[in-house]
Amino acid sequence: MSSEIKNIPPVAIEKPKFKVWNGARAIAEAVKVADVDVISAYPIRPYTGIMNALASMIANGEFIADVVIADSEHSQFEIVKHASAVGARTFVGSSGVGLAYAAEAIIVTALSQLPVVGAIGTRALDDPGNFGMEWSDVLMFRDYGWLISWAKTVQEAHDMTLVAYRVAEDKRVLLPHFVVLDGAALTHVATPIVPVTKEQATDFLPPYKPPYRIDPIDGPVTKAQHIAPSLIGPEQRKLVDVATKRAKEVIVEAWKDFATYTGREYPPFIEAIGMEDADFALIGMGAYMKDIEIVAKRMREKGVKIGTIRLRYVRPFPAEDLLRVIDGVKAAGVIEFGYSFGSPFGTGSLYHEIATSLYETNTRPELLDFLFLGGREPKVEHFMKAAEMIIESVHKKPQKKAYWLTLRGEDI
Amino acid sequence: MIMQSEFKSLREIPPIDYYTAGRRTCAGCGPAIGYRLISKAAGPNTIFIGPTGCMYVANAHQFLTSPYSVPWHHTQLGGGGAAAIGIASALRTLMLKGKRKPEDINVIVMGGDGAMADIGLSGLSMGLSYDYQRLLYIVYDNEGYMNTGVQASSTTPWGATTTFTPSGKVKPLGNTRYKKNVALIAASHPNVKYVATATLWPPLDLMNKVVRALNSGGPSVIHALFPCPKGWFTSPADTVMLSKLAVETGMWVLWELIEGQFKLNYRPNPRKHVREYLSLQGRFRHLKDEDIDKMDKMIEEEWFYWNESAKQEKLILPY
Ligand SMILES: Cc1ncc(C[n+]2csc(CCOP(=O)(O)OP(=O)(O)O)c2C)c(N)n1
Ligand code: SF4
């Protein structure tokens, strides 16, 4: 893929031009410079703003794309899946129950290896009408071959969208990709950002060329036929598995190239702050990491050797990178907004991923889980409390693994 | 590409097939015969979409062979409406942006009654609200969920037995719901250019309707009754004859709506008694004489409206 890249600009980057955009607008602007062809929309908070922004850009002739207003999320994801099979670059998105409604179409997109890119504004799965922020909607699709990256800032959400197309469409990968923004916290919060220019995007992102198009020009291709479990069942699964594994090197490569074109550097998988000599770590993802990093900084000022670990991807899960940065830590806490009822020790979805990774180390740190469920917003004090609890866990073995810090009443 | 014009006689039908060997449908499968005629009429510049159902499972099947010599893509059971829109949208946008050579390409969904009249009705309706050209939805109606072993759908006729509507001691009738008229639903979309009903007989009627639908300038629907020997408990040899009898008994009405103008394609005169059609089918074997007479009377009443629609050249709802 890198051989196709041309026009590497001189290192001197022009003075950045800032724009004040919220997460929704920032994603839409990335879709615009990515020259997406087919977009499919259906409203659900909090992701809808992305589609609103795109619709108005297209109505005003800022770029050419077809926005298909679907009758449901199921149709929405089927539309982009098939447009992608024909060779169009596509964009889609949803939140909460919208994703649940589209589950079938979402799952088969990865198994057909179609590089659709979707944005998710995270939202609680309704227990009637919960608008709050939870991760359960995204994590429901952890297991089906979608690549999933998680933004911390509006700038990162914007940049991640372009990188998502680059990774998804790479011939070594060909998998769909979700870019995740925490609902409200990123979708609706405006900050100044430096946009990727059209020129940068064109150079960074080669045109999408699917290997087997559904188009009479390419002759008869029969796609997604009935699978005989005995004949190619496991082999078909293996193809997707290999693609998710290969995605790791492609992701590293893509972020490196992205830095060359834009001057903005990101660690590909894990952002570790203050971890070099850390005894303690707070681990999480997404927009609230900004607050968590402030908490860690304040505690550092008081002499506590604490750092933060932020996962930028949950699929593929960067276990090796995690083990590298967490090495030597005595106790760590996972801060998360996703849960699995009836799970081992009542722990959350992200905890399971991290605990599984840590099982491979000889010096397993004490690992606690801090759960923020049902959409109630956490405060900095909650993260502070989490930090205090992991520090204390080294002296006194904790009674439980998981704590619901925003819960009113007894946490039994 | 030159647009296919209508076929004037059976001799004009091209010898080439785009739905070929390599399928494993039942002997005498109506939808398979229909597929062959439809794909002949549409020609090589066609993309077919197959929602889950017999025309997927028994065609692009597990032995890794494919009967389609044109591009074909599966879609989920309820995805027919949306998949076609995705493909049509992609083609149009890529051509508009100069990313693909401009050309007329047919997009045809071959969806069963379960796929299009039940789980995918909303998607079908969405598709009909757009203006993509050369987009044709075929609702191949074998009057049940056949691939899963003959269950009732909303187009299963009144009085038919299926595995979900058996005839029993307390409930002798079988299916107690009335058949949904998908073509009438399609006709209620202001953007739909062409709506027709068809069956395997007369074959030129079906093929020319495909040609007219594709050339109509917008999304179109053909609701086609295709007999299913497995689900109807009929002889494989009778499939085409059953199509003919369905028309001659008035049970299946051949009509088309061209930009809002109604046309009755066949008026059975004299109309045969529905018994002739029902008696060949195991799924109606349990019906009593009074049930069959009731059915014949229902047909008679309905036909008043078809005749009236034909006279006024516009659709008048029969229900
Ligand atoms: C969402 C979903 N529900 C149920 C099924 C099971 N299923 C497979 S084929 C089929 C029958 C479809 O019936 P129809 O569309 O009438 O086509 P036919 O089999 O009669 O040709 C069903 C229900 C499925 N594949 N997907
Ligand atoms: S069950 Fe009916 S529709 Fe399905 S393959 Fe057999 S005859 Fe054809």
The 10s digit of each residue's pLDDT in A310-357 is 999 999 999 999 999 999 999 999 999 999 999 999 999 999 999 999
Per-residue pLDDT at A114 exceeds 90: yes
d(CA A150, CA A183): 12
Q: Are A40 and A70 a contacting pair, CB within 8 Å?
A: yes
- What pLDDT does residue B1 have? 47
Q: What is the dihedral of CA B288, B290, B294, B296, to 10 degrees?
A: 80
Q: Which of A65, A83, A231 is opposite residue B62, by nearest beta carbon?
A: A231
The CATH class that applies to domain A270-404 reads: alpha beta
Instruction: Count Cβ neighbours within 10 Å for each residue of A238-269 and write b for 16 or more, e otherwise.
Output: eebeebbebbbebbebbbebbeebbebebebb
Q: What is the pLDDT of residues B198-252, one digit of tens each?
A: 999 999 999 999 999 999 999 999 999 999 999 999 999 999 999 999 999 999 9
Bridge partners, residue B46, by sequence: B106
> Is residue B2 one of the residues assigned to a domain?
no
In a domain, B246, yes or no: yes
| Pairing of the two strands B135-141 and B72-75 | unpaired
Rounded to whole angstroms, the Cα distance separating B109 from A181 reads: 36
Question: Which one of B1, B85, B131 makes the best mutation probe of the A interface by having the most chain A beta carbons within 10 Å?
Answer: B85
Q: Which helix (H) or strand (E) holds B215?
A: none
B243 domain residue, yes or no: yes
The confidence score (pLDDT) of residue B170 equals: 97
- Ligand 1: which residue has its CA nearest to atom 13? B145
Q: Give pLDDT, residue A9.
A: 56
Please give the pLDDT value at position A17.
83
pLDDT tier at B2, thresholds 50, 70, 90: low
b/e per residue, A145-165, with b = 16+ CB within 10 A? bbbbbbbbbbbbbbbbbbbbb
Which among B33, B52, B140, B162 is the best mutation to test ligand 1's pocket, defined by most ligand atoms within 8 Å of the CB?
B52
| Strand order across the beta sheet in which A280-284 lies | A270-273, A306-311, A280-284, A331-336, A366-371, A402-404
**What are the tokens at B119?**
């789980």
- Domain at B255, CATH number: 3.40.50.970
Model confidence at A2, pLDDT cuts 50, 70, 90, reads: very low
Query: Under a CB-based contact definition with an 8 Å cutoff, are residues A278 and A328 in contact?
Result: yes
Tell me which chain B residues have a C-beta less than 8 angstroms from the C-beta of A82.
49, 73, 75, 82-87, 90
pLDDT in tens, A11-58: 555 566 899 999 999 999 999 999 999 999 999 999 999 999 999 999
Whether B317 is covered by a domain: the verdict is no
Best-predicted range by mean pLDDT (A14-28, A122-136, A237-251, B8-22): A237-251
Task: State how many domains chain B has.
Answer: 1
In this prediction, residue B283 carries a pLDDT of: 98
**Residues B121, B201: contact at Cβ < 8 Å?**
no
Q: Is A69 helix (H, G, I), strand (E, B) or coil?
A: strand
Q: ipTM, 2 decimals?
A: 0.96
Could you please state the CATH topology (level 3) that the domain comprising A19-262 is classified under: Rossmann fold (3.40.50)
Beta strands in A302-359 (DSSP E): 306-311, 313-315, 331-336
Residue B4 lies in a domain: no
The answer to whether A354 touches A367, Cβ cutoff 8 Å, is yes
Residue ranges in chain B assigned as alpha helix (H) = 30-42, 54-57, 80-96, 113, 121-128, 182-187, 203-214, 229-232, 239-248, 275-278, 289-312
Probe target for ligand 1 pocket from B29, B148, B156, B163, with the most ligand atoms within 8 Å of CB? B148
Asked if residue B50 is part of any domain, the answer here is: yes
Q: Measure the N-to-C terminal CA separation of chain B; round to a whole number of Å.
A: 42
Confidence band, pLDDT 50/70/90 cuts, at residue A59? very high
Residue B7 inside a domain? The answer is no
* Distance of CA B145 from the midpoint of ligand 1 (Å): 6
Higher-scoring residue by pLDDT: B120, A362: B120
**pLDDT of amino acid A10:** 53
Distance between CA atoms of A36 and B174, rounded to whole angstroms? 52
Tokens of A271: 């952002």
Ligand nearest to the CA of B31: 2
b/e code A173-197 from CB counts within 10 Å (16+ = b): bbbbbbbbbbbbbbbebeeebbbbe
Amino acid B318: pLDDT: 81
pLDDT of residue B64: 72
Pocket test for ligand 1, best of B61, B77, B156 (most atoms within 8 A of CB): B77
Question: Number of helices (H) and strands (E), helices first, in chain B?
Answer: 11, 8
Please, is A359 exposed, middle or buried when counting C-beta atoms within 10 Å of its C-beta (0-12, 13-18, 19+)?
exposed
Domains A19-262 and A270-404 share a fold: yes
Q: Considering only alpha carbons, which residue of chain A is nearest residue B87?
A: A83
Residue B63 structural domain: 13-312
Q: Write down the pLDDT at residue A159.
A: 98
Q: Which amino acid is at A344?
A: P
Residue B17 burial (10 A CB sphere; 0-12, 13-18, 19+): middle
Q: Is some CB atom of chain A closer than 8 A to the CB atom of B98?
A: no
- Chain B, 221-260: which have a CB under 8 Å from a chain A CB? none
As a whole number of angstroms, the distance between CA B47 and CA B39 comes to 10
Per-residue pLDDT band for B70 (boundaries 50, 70, 90) equals very high
B97 touches chain A (CB under 8 A): yes
Q: Which protein residue's CA is at the shortest distance from atom 5 of ligand 2? A: B25
pLDDT for the residue B278: 98
pLDDT of residue A363: 81
Domain parsing of chain A, residue ranges: 19-262, 270-404
Q: How many CB contacts within 8 angstroms connect chain A with chain B?
A: 167
Give the dihedral of Cα atoms A222, A224, A227, A233; nearest 10 deg. 120
Q: What is the pLDDT of residue A5?
A: 53
B176 close to B188: Cβ distance less than 8 angstroms: no
Query: To the nearest whole percent, how much of chain A has pLDDT over 70?
Result: 96
Is residue B18 a part of any domain in this protein? yes
